[in-house]
Structure 1
Amino acid sequence: MKFKQIVTTVLISAVTAAAAIFVYGKYFEGRQPGIFQNGSNDIPVNYARYMPGTETKSNAAPPSDFVTSARVAVPGVVHIKTKINPRQVTNGLQRQRSILQDLFGDEFFGDEFNGGGGGRRYYIPGQMASGSGVLISDDGYIVTNNHVIADADEITVSLSNENKTFKAKLVGTDPSTDLAVIKIPARNMPYLLYGNSDNVEIGQWVLAVGYPLNLDATVTAGIVSAKSRSIGINKSGGKINNSIESFIQTDAAVNQGNSGGALVNTAGELIGINSAIASPTGSYAGYSYAIPVNLVKKVVNDLMKYGSVQRAYLGVKYASPAAIASMSDDQLREIGVRRDVNGVQITEVMDNSSAASAGLRQGDVITKINGVGINGSSQMSEQVARYKPGDKISLTYLRDDKEFTANNITLKNLQGTTDVVRITNLDKLGADLSDLSKDEAASIGVKGGIKVNDINTGILKKQTSMVPGFVILKAGNTPVTSVNALSAVLEKEKNVQLVGFYPQRGGNIYYYNINTGGKGAEDL
C-alpha cells in the first residue's frame, strides 16, 4: 500500500512537471509576432522589419551610424560670436527742482543740473557671447536664434573648419519665434537643405549640430521625444495670444552655445533650429527643443523679403490647459469653456478679425486648420504662423457638439488689414505696450497712459534702464494716452524723451531719452 502511494505521488509529480514545462513553453518562450499589435488594425508588429507582401522595409529602421548625415550637416553649421559694447545709461529719475530753476527756467541749466537728461548716469560693461547658426543659401544667409544675436554691436561668423571668419550683418529678427537672419559676404557656401518637419515622427533618429560650450563643431544624436511642445519661454503678456511655441522635443544632448544650430534627420536635412533646453541647472538635463523647419522657412522668407515677419492672426483669445485646470465649473461656464473637449476653445473673438469674419463665437472649439488636426494652442499658433495676411484658410470647429467648416477665410494682420507691415519706430522700442484701461488709470490717479508690460530686444533695453511696470504719460511735450498716439510721435521725432512713473514706486517722475535713429533690434 505504501509502495502504491509512492508510485502515485511520483506519477502526479511527473504529470505536474510536464504540464509546467508545456505551459512555460507555450506562454513564456519568445512569441512570434502577429501582423498587428495592441488591438490595432493598422500598426504592424516590428514595423521596421515586417511589411505584408514584401521582405524589406524601411525608412523606419535605424541607420547603422550617422556618418553620412554628420558629413552633410557639419559644414553648413557655423559658429556665431557676438560683442555688446559698454554703454552709458541713466536711471531716469528726475532730480528735485531748485529755486533758481523756478526763477530762471530750465533752459538756463544743463541736463546734469535740471534732471531732464534722465538722472544719474552709469555704465553697463560690455559682454561677449557665442552660439550657432545654419547656412541656408550659398550666398551667405544664415538663420539663428534671436536670443543669440540680441543687442549685439558686432556679429562674427566662423565656418566649421575655423579657417574663415566673417563680419555678419543683421537682416531681421522675430522675437515671437526666437528667430533671426544674418548675412555674411561670401559665395559658394555649403548650405543645408530644408526637410519637412510635418513628416517628423516621434521615435525617429535626429542629430543636433552646433558649437556648445564654445567648443568646435559638435554632433550629438537622439530621438524625437514629442512634437508641438510648448514650454512657456515666450510670454506675450498682451491682449492676444501671439507667442509661438510648437517645438520638436528631442533627447539629443544640447548645451549653451547650441542655440541657433541645426536639428537634422538621418539624411542630413534641416528639420529644426535648436532653441532651448529644459534644465534646472542651465546645462543639458535630458531634453532639448527645436523650432520646426516649416515655420522657420516662412519666417526666414519674410525677413529676407520684407525685413519683418508678415504675421497673420485669427484674432481670438483662448483658454490654456493650465488656466482651464485652475478654474471652477462656474467660471468655465461663464466664458463658455468645457474640460472635456480636444481643440482650442475660444474665450473671445476680436472685432474686425479673421475669426469674426468667419462667424466664430465665444465657446466654439477650433479642431482643424486646412484639414490639419488641432489638439492644442501650440499647434494652432504654428499652423497660423505659416501664413501671411491675405492668405486664405479653412477652419473646422465645433459648436454645440456639431462640426462646421468655414472656407476661404482671409487672414489679417494685427491691424485688421492685409497690407504689408513695415518695421516702425514703435517696433524698434522692443516692448510689449498696452493702453491703460479707465479703471487702471483711475486706480493710479491719471487720466490715461501707456503701460510697459515687458521689454525685450530693442531701443528701450539698449538705451535706457526702464523696466516693466513703467507708465508712459508723455512723449516729448505730447501727452499720450494710447499706443497709437505714441507711435505717431515716434514717427515724427527721432530724439524723444519718454516721461512717466512707476505706480508701485510712488510718485517720482522718470525721464528716459531715446533716439529712434540709433541702434535697435533691426539696425545693427
Structure 2
Amino acid sequence: MKSLIKNFGMAVLGGAVVLGTYKIAFEPESQIAAQQSQQVANEVQTPVLPVKNVNYTSSIEGIDFTEAAEKTVHAVVHVKNTTIARGGMSIADLMYGRTPYRQAVGTGSGVIITGDGYIVTNNHVIENAQSLEVTLNNNKTYKAELVGTEPNSDIALLKIEADEELPYVVFGDSNQAKIGEWVLAVGNPFNLTSTVTAGIISAKGRDLDERDRKMQSFIQTDAAVNPGNSGGALVNQNGELIGINTAIASRTGSYVGYSFAVPSNNARKIIEDLMEFGFVQKGMLGISGTDLNGNIADEMGIDESEGIYVAKVVENSGAAKANLKNGDIIKSIDGLKMKTFADLTGYISSKNPGDIVYVNYLRNGVQKQAQIEITKNNTVLIPQIEMEVRNLFKEDQKIFDTKKGVRITRTTGELSRYDMRDYIITKVNDYEITNIDDLQEILREVNPRETLLIQMKNSRGEVERFRYTID
C-alpha cells in the first residue's frame, strides 16, 4: 500500500471516462474506467506497416458495409487478461496478518495488424496481466506475449506465434478521415464474439477531459461501443483501420451515444517505435498555449478567434530555433487546420524527433511560415512511481537553486490526488538524481513491493521526504 509521510494537502484531480475491459469469471460485472488516448499522422520509415489510402463516398446512398466487415471481423481478436488481485479481508486475515489474493479475469479486443501475429490493443485491456490469451474469430486460441505499451495513449502491442499467415487489417490515414464519414466498430462487447456496429465520425481532435494535462486527441463516433470493445477496430468503408476503440462517455458504463478511438496514425507511430526500439520516441514542437475562442480573443485584444495562442516557447526547442514567439497564433501545421491544442498535440504525437513540420502562424496580424524540427520531449511517464517527470530547464535550475534533479510535471494513479508540480526529485534511497536517466536506472533495480525513500525539494528551498511502495 502506498503511503505518504507528509500529506501535501493539495487539490484532488477528478474525472474519468468509462469503457475498459469486460470483467468475467471471478469478479462481478462492473463498469471499468478507460484510460484514453492523442493524436494523428506520420510516415515512419522502418519497420513499415501496411497502409492504404483510397477515396470513397460518404453518402448513405449505395453504402454497403459487408466488404468492410468481412475484411475486419476475422482480424479482430478476443483478448483475455488474467491478473492476481487483492481479495476482501476476513477477520481471521486481519488477526493473522494475511493478505488474501484472488484470480481475476478481464476481457477486451485486439486487432491483428501483420500476418505474422502482431496485435494492437488498449493498455488498459492488458494492464497488470499475469498471463494473456488471444482467441481468433475461428476459435483458435494462442498465448500472447506483451511487446510493449504506451500508457499515455492507452496503446499496447502483443505478439502471438501461429503456424499460418493470419488475416490482418491495413492502416488507413486518420488525418484524411472526415466528420460525417461512415465507419464500423468491430470488437467483442460483453464477452460476445466479433460484433460489428456502424455509425459516423461525429468529431475529431476530441479531448475528453480538459483537466487532464496530457491533452489527448480522439476520433469521436456514434457507432455503438460497449465494455469489451476496448482495443477493437474502427474502420472506414474500405475496411482500413482509422482508429483503436478506447473509451465511451457514459454514466452507466454502457454505450449512450458517443464513443472515442485513438487515431490510427498515432497508434501506428507508437507500434512501429515499439517494434523498432522497444520504447516510444516522443517529440515536441516546443510551445505551450491555449485554444482561441471569441471570449479569449476579446480578453487578449486579438482579432482572430480560431487557432493556437502561443503563451510560451520552450528553450532550445525547434519552435525556439525557428523564432516563434509568445503571442504568435498557429493556424495550421503541414496544411492541417489547428483549431484546438488537442489538434496540435495529436498531430505532433504522430511525429518523431528530427521530423520537419511546416507551421503557418500569425504575428501581429501578418501571415508567416516556419519550418520547425521536432525535438526530443524530455518529459517521461514513470509508472512505477506514478509520476511524469522531465529534466530541469535553466529556468528550473534558477527557481530550485540546483542543477541536479528532475521536475515533477504530473502525478497519476493514487498520487493524482496530490499536486506535486512545485517539486523536484533530488534523491531516491539516498542515490542522487541528476536527470531522468539516473532515476530510471535506479528504478530498474527495485523489486516489486519494495519501499522507496524519495527526497524532494520545493521552490521555497524546503526539503521533504516520503515513502512510496512499488506495486
Shorter-chain TM range is 0.7 to 0.9
- For 2:105, which of 105, 108, 128 is the aligned residue? 128
- Greater relative contact order (CA < 8 Å, ≥ 6 in sequence): 2
Residue 343 of structure 1: aligned partner: 307
Shift of 1:405: 0.5
The aligned counterpart of 2:442 is 490
3-state DSSP of counterpart to 1:128: strand
> Is the CA contact 2:204–2:218 (under 8 Å) kept in the aligned structure 1?
yes
In 1, are the aligned partners of 2:387 and 2:408 still within 8 Å (CA)? no
**How many positions carry a matched residue from both structures?**
391
Contact 1:138 1:190 in 2 (8 A): yes
Q: Does 1:359 pair with 2:323?
A: yes
Q: Deviations over 1:300-340 (max 9, x none)?
A: 11111111111210111112469x96x797xx54xxx8484
SS in 2 for 1:362: coil
Task: Tell me the secondary structure at the aligned position of residue 176 of structure 1.
Answer: helix
2-structure distance, mates of 1:269, 1:449: 42
Deviation string 1:215-247 (CA, Å, 9 cap, x unpaired) is 1111111112122222128933xxxxxx35222
The match for 1:148 among 117, 125, 134 is 125
Q: Measure the CA separation in 2 of the matches of 1:75 and 1:211.
A: 12
Q: Which amino acid aligns with 2:141?
A: T
The answer for the alignment partner of 1:228 in structure 2 is: 205
Q: Which position in structure 2 is the counterpart of 1:93?
A: none
Contact 1:434 1:450 in 2 (8 A): yes
Tell me if structure 2 keeps the 8 A contact 1:142–1:182.
yes
Q: Deviations over 1:337-388 (max 9, x none)?
A: 8484311111111111111011001111111112222122121112212210
Ranges of 4+ aligned residues in structure 1 off by more than 6 Å: 434-442, 447-450
Partner in structure 1 of residue 161 of structure 2? 185
Name which of structure 1's ranges 73-82 and 181-190 shifts more when overlaid on structure 2. Answer: 181-190
1:60 aligned partner: 59
1:283 is matched with: 254
In structure 1, runs of 5+ residues without a counterpart are: 1-56, 89-119, 237-242, 417-422, 515-519
Q: How far apart in 2 are the matches of 1:401 and 1:370?
A: 20
CA distance in 1, matches of 2:171, 2:116: 16
Equivalence map 1:262-273=2 (5 Å):
262-273=233-244
Equivalent pair of 1:136/1:193 in contact (CA under 8 Å): yes
TM-score, normalised on structure 1? 0.65
Separation in 1 of the partners of 2:201 and 2:435? Answer: 42
* Larger radius of gyration between Structure 1 and Structure 2: 1
* Separation in structure 1 between the aligned mates of residue 71 and residue 125 of structure 2, nearest angstrom: 24
Indicate the residue corresponding to 2:39 in structure 1.
none
2:232 corresponds, among 261, 279, 282, to 261
| TM-score (ref. length: structure 2) | 0.72
Quick check: 1:397 aligned with 2:396? no
- 1:454 and 2:453 aligned: no
**Gapped runs of 5+ residues in structure 2?**
1-55, 88-96, 458-462
Between the aligned partners of 2:179 and 2:220, the Cα distance in structure 1 is 9
Aligned equivalent of 1:194: 171
Alignment partners' CA distance in 1, 2:432 and 2:267: 40
**Which residue number in structure 2 is paired with residue 210 of structure 1?**
187
Moved more, 384-393 or 430-439: 430-439
Aligned-pair RMSD on alpha carbons?
Answer: 3.8
Q: Is the 8 A contact 2:215 2:341 kept in 1?
A: no
Q: For residue 317 of structure 1, what is the aligned residue in structure 2?
A: 288
Deviation (angstroms), 1:203: 1.9
Preserved CA contact (<8 Å) 2:187 2:194? yes
Give, in whole Å, the separation in 1 of the partners of 2:319 and 2:218: 25
Residue 477 (1) aligns with residue 453 (2): no
Alpha-carbon distance in 2 for matches of 1:175, 1:320: 25
Residues 79 and 60 of structure 1, relative CA distance in 2, 3 Å threshold: same
Structure with a larger share of its residues in strand: 2
For 1:399 and 1:321, the matched residues in 2 are separated by: 14
TM-aligned CA distance change 1:63 to 1:179, over 3 Å:
farther
Q: Secondary structure at the match of 1:208?
A: strand
The reply to whether residue 75 of structure 1 matches residue 74 of structure 2 is yes
Three-state SS of the structure 2 residue aligned to 1:71 is helix
More helix by share: 1
**Distance in 2 between residues matched to 1:303 and 1:319, nearest whole Å:** 31
Choose the corresponding residue for 2:377, options 414, 438, 445.
414
- Aligned-partner Cα distance in 1 for 2:179–2:252: 26
Report if aligned partners of 1:77, 1:262 keep a CA contact under 8 Å in 2: yes
Cα distance change, pair 511–486 in 1 and its aligned pair in 2 (3 A): farther
Compared CA separation, residues 175 and 485, structure 1 to 2 (3 A): closer
Q: In 2, Cα distance between the equivalents of 1:143 and 1:223?
A: 23
Which residue among 338, 344, 369 is the counterpart of 1:380?
A: 344
Quote the Cα distance in structure 2 between the aligned partners of 1:390 and 1:191: 31
Partner secondary structure for residue 85 of structure 1? strand
Cα distance, 1:196–1:124 mapped onto 2, change above 3 Å: same
CA distance in 2, matches of 1:292, 1:492: 32
Paired letter, 1:432: E
Whole-angstrom CA distance in 1 between matches of 2:261 and 2:146: 22
